[in-house]
Structure 1
Amino acid sequence: MKVKNWIRQLHGEKLFLLFAMLSGFFITAEYAITKPTSNSIFLAHYNVSLYPYAWLLTIPLNLLVVTFYNRFLERFGCFRMFLITVFATMGINGICGLFVREHPSLAFLLYIWKDIYVMLMFQQLWSVIHTKTSLNKAKYLYGILFGVSGIGAIFGSIVPGFFAVKMGSEHLLFLTVPLYLLFIGAYYAMLRRSGGGLSATKERTRGGLQLIKSSKALKFILIIVVLMQLSTTIMDYQFSSFLQERFPVQDLRTEFYGRLWGLINAFKLCLQFFATFLLVQFLGFRRSHFVVPGVLFGNAILTIFNPSFAFITYSFSVIKTFDYSVFNILKEMLYVPLKTEEKFKAKAVIDVFAYRSAKGLASLFVIGMGALSADKLPYAYSWGPFALFAIWLAVAFLYFQKKETLDTLDGSRRRA
C-alpha cells in the first residue's frame, strides 16, 4: 500500500507540474500578444506624454482589484476568483478589439488593465505553486517553470511580430480568447492536483498589509519589487519616446515591438532554463540577489553616457530580460518558506498592487523631468534607474547581513 501511495503521489506531482507549466505558457503567450498591441494602440490614439497619467490612474484601479481579490478570495475560493479574472479580461479584450477605433477612450482602459490583470494571473498561479514546492525543489523547478512560460512568450510574440500589418492591431486582441479558454482547463487541472483542493484558501486570515508589516522577508520583497518596477517604468517611458518618434505608423510600430519582444523572450528563455540555476548553484541564494541590481547598475551608467535610440533599446531589452527571468525566479523563491496566507494575500498586495502601482510613483519622476528642457531629457531620465539600482544594492546588503546574523543566533540557541 505504501508503494502504491508513493507512486500515486509521484504521478500526481508530475501532472501538477505539467499543468502549472501549461498555465504559465498560456499566460505569457496571451500577454505577448496583448502587451505590444495595447501599447501601440495607445500611442495611435494618444501620445507618449500621457503615459505618466495612465500610470497614475493605474493606482486606484489596482487598489480596487486587489481589495476585491483579497476580500472575496475566502468566500469564492481560488477557482471562482480565477474565473472572474479571466472572463473580465476576455471581455475587455473583445470589447476593445471591436470598438476601440470608434471610442479611443477604450485604448486607455486596455493599456491600464493589461498591466494589472497579467500580474493577477501570475499571482493566482504562483500562489498555488508555492503551496506545493519546497525550497530545495524550487532551485531547479522554478527555472523550468519560468522557461516554459518563456516559450509561451516567444510563440505569442510571433503574432504581433508578423501579422500586425496584415490583420490590423485591433484584430489581434481576438486571438487572446482561445488562449484563455485553454488556460482555464490547465488551471483547473492544476488545482485538482495541488493537494489543497479548489477551496484551499477559504480559511479566515489577516489582511495582506498586516502580514507584510509583521514579516521582514515580505518587506524586503516589497522593496525590491518597487525598486525594480520604478526603474523599469522610467526606462520604458524613455524607450517609448524614441519608439514613437522612429515609428509613427501604428501597425509598423506594433510589428517592431512584437519582434523586439520576440528577441527579448529568446534571451529570457536562456536565463530561465540555465542561467538562474547555475547562478544559485555557484554563487548561492543570497549572493545571487546582488547580480540583478549589479548588472543593471552598470548598464545604467552606460546609458547615461550614450542615450541614443540603439542603446536605449538595448538597455530596455536588458532590464526586461532580467525582470522576467532571474529577478522573478529569485523573488518567487523568497516566498517558498512563508506561510500559506502570506503566499496568497500578502503576495497579492506585493505582486499586483505594489508591482503596478510603482508605475504611478515613476510617473511623478517622469512628469518632473518633463519640466526640464527637451535636450536634457534623454540624459536626465537615465539618472533615475542609476540611483534606484544603487539603493537596491544597499537594501539587499543590509537585509542579508541581518538575516545571516539572525540565522546564526537561531542556530546557537538550538545548540544551547
Structure 2
Amino acid sequence: MQRIVLLCALAFVVLCSYEVARPACESLFLEAYGSAALPQVWIVVAIVAALVVTVYNRFSASVPLVRLFAIAAGISATLLIVLLQLFQADVPEAAFALYVWKDVYVVVLVEIFWSFANASFAIGTAKWVYGLFCVMGSLGSMVGGKGVGYLAKEWGTVQSLWLVIPLLALSWLLCVFLKRLDAPTQSEQQPQHSSLQEGFSVLLKSRYLVLILALIVVIQVVITLVDYQFNVMVEQYTQNTDERTALIGNVYAAISMGSMTLQLATGPILRFVGIPLTLFCIPLVLGGAVGLMAAAPRFLATAA
C-alpha cells in the first residue's frame, strides 16, 4: 500500500510540474517566435526525444528504475536552471530550448514511471491501480494548470517556471522513500527489453493491434493540427506573455478535468458499452470537439 501511495503522489507531482512548465514555455516560445515556428520546434522535439529515449533504454537495463528516475529528475531540474539563467540573460534561442526541454523531460519521467509500475505490480493489481495513477496525474495537471495561471499574473511567466524546480526536487524525494521500502518486490526487477524488430513482429501478427496503431496515428495527427490552430488563436486573443500563460494554463486545466472525468468513468463505460464501441466513439468525440472549436472559436477569449 505504501508503494501505491508513493506512486500516486509521484504521478501527481510529475504532471503538476509539467502543467506548470508547459503553458509558461509555450507562451515564451510564442512571444519569441510565433506560432509559425511550431512545426520546426516539433521536429526538433521528436528528434531529441528519440535520442534521449534511446539512451534511457540502454541505462534502464542496468540501473534500478527508482535511481534512474531520481537521476532524470535531477538532470531535468539542472537543465531548467541553466536554461532559465540563459533566458534571463537574453541568450538567443533560450526560449526554443525551453520548449524542447519541457516536452522531452516529461516523456522520460513518464516512461520511467510506467516502467517501474509495470515491474512492480501483477496484472490483477494493475487493472485497478493504474486507473488511480492516471486520476492522480490528471488531478496534478489541473492543479498545475490553474496554479501557473495565477503565478504568471502575480509573478510573471519566467518566475512561475522556477516552481518546477521544487516540484522536481519533491519527485526526487519520493524516489528516496520508494527506495527505502524494505519489502522486496517485483519493482527490484529490471524490465525485459525487446528489440524494435521483435516489437514490429508482434504488432504485424495482430490485425487488432495494427488497427489500434492506425487509430492512434490518425488521432495524433489530428491533435497536432488542433494544437497548431489553438496556438494561432492564442496569439490572436492575448496581448502579453503573462496573459497568454494564464490562458493556456486554464485551457489545459479544463482538459485535465475532462480527462479525469473520463478516467473515472472508464470502468463503467467499458462494462456497459464494450471495448469495440468505445474505440469507435473515440474519433466521434474528437471530431465533435474539433467541430465545436471551429463553430465557437471565441471561447478562448473568456478562458482566462
Q: Which TM bucket (shorter chain)? A: 0.7 to 0.9
Question: Is 1:173–2:161 an aligned residue pair?
Answer: yes
1:114 corresponds to which of 94, 102, 126: 102
Deviates more, 1:209-218 or 1:253-262: 209-218
SS at match of 1:295: helix
3-state SS of paired residue (1:215):
helix
Q: Which amino acid aligns with 1:128?
A: F
Correspondence 1:25 to 2:25: no
Counterpart among 144, 148, 162 of residue 156 in structure 1 = 144
CA offsets 1:252-303 (integer angstroms, 9 cap, x no match): 111111222222222322222x211211221234433233223113444555
| Cα distance change, pair 136–76 in 1 and its aligned pair in 2 (3 A) | closer
Q: Paired residue for 1:99?
A: 86
Q: Structure 1 residue 86 and structure 2 residue 77: aligned? A: no
Q: Do structure 1's residue 58 and structure 2's residue 48 form an aligned pair?
A: no
For the residues of structure 2 that align with 1:129 and 1:29, how far apart are their CA atoms? 19
Task: Say which of 22, 36, 53 aligns to 1:35.
Answer: 22
| Change over 3 Å in CA distance of 1:299–1:268 after alignment to 2 | closer
What is the aligned partner in structure 2 of residue 310 from structure 1?
298
Q: 1:196 corresponds to which residue?
A: 186
Aligned with residue 267 of structure 1, among 248, 252, 258: 258
Q: Percent identity?
A: 26
Give unpaired runs (5+ residues) of structure 1: 1-13, 315-416
Where does structure 2 lack aligned partners over 5 or more consecutive residues?
none
**CA separation in 2, counterparts of 1:290 and 1:313?**
33
Q: Deviation of residue 143 (structure 1)? A: 2.5
CA distance in 2, matches of 1:135, 1:285: 18
CA distance in 1, matches of 2:249, 2:37: 22
For residues 219 and 175 of structure 2, the distance between their equivalents in structure 1, rounded to whole angstroms, comes to 28
**Root mean square deviation, CA, Å:** 2.6
Q: Is the 8 A contact 1:33 1:176 kept in 2?
A: yes
Residue equivalent to 1:214: 201
Partner amino acid, structure 1, of 2:168: Y
Alignment partner of 1:283 out of 269, 273, 277: 273
Q: Output the amino acid matched with 2:115.
A: S
Question: How many equivalent pairs are there?
Answer: 295
Q: 1:250 aligns with which of 241, 244, 248?
A: 241
**CA–CA distance in structure 2, aligned partners of residues 194 and 155 of structure 1:** 34
Q: In structure 2, the residue corresponding to 1:289 is in which secondary structure?
A: helix
- Rounded to whole Å, the distance in 1 between the matches of 2:273 and 2:129 is 18
Question: Any idea what SS the aligned residue of 2:171 has?
Answer: helix
Give distance in 2, aligned partners of 1:186 and 1:283.
Answer: 38
Shift of 1:220: 5.5
Superposition pairs of residues 272-351 of structure 1, within 5 angstroms: 272=263, 274-301=264-291, 306=295, 308-310=296-298
Query: TM-score under structure 2 normalisation?
Result: 0.86
- Which whole-Å CA distance do the structure 2 matches of 1:151 and 1:61 have between them? 28
TM-score, normalised relative to structure 1: 0.64
Residue 149 of structure 1, CA deviation: 1.4
Structure 2 CA distance for partners of 1:131 and 1:283, relative to 1, 3 Å: farther
After superposition, the Cα gap between the structure-2 partners of 1:184 and 1:243, relative to the gap in structure 1 and judged at 3 Å, is: same
Cα shift at 1:242 = 0.9
Match of 1:230 in 2: 221
Task: Return the alpha-carbon distance in structure 2 between the equivalents of residues 310 and 283 of structure 1.
Answer: 34
DSSP-derived class of the 1:75 partner: coil
Q: Deviations over 1:30-89 (max 9, x none)?
A: 011000000001011111100001111123212211211112222323234323321221
**Distance (whole Å) between structure 2 residues aligned to residue 188 and residue 55 of structure 1:** 34
Aligned-partner residue type, residue 98 of structure 1:
Q
Alignment check: 8 A CA contact 2:11 2:136 kept: yes
- Check whether the contact 1:37–1:169 (CA below 8 A) recurs between aligned residues: yes
Secondary structure of the corresponding residue to residue 186 of structure 2 = coil
> Which stretch has the larger CA shift, 88-97 or 133-142?
133-142
Asked if structure 2 preserves the Cα contact closer than 8 Å seen for 1:150 and 1:269, the reply is: yes
SS of 1:154's partner is helix
| SS of residue paired to 1:214 | helix
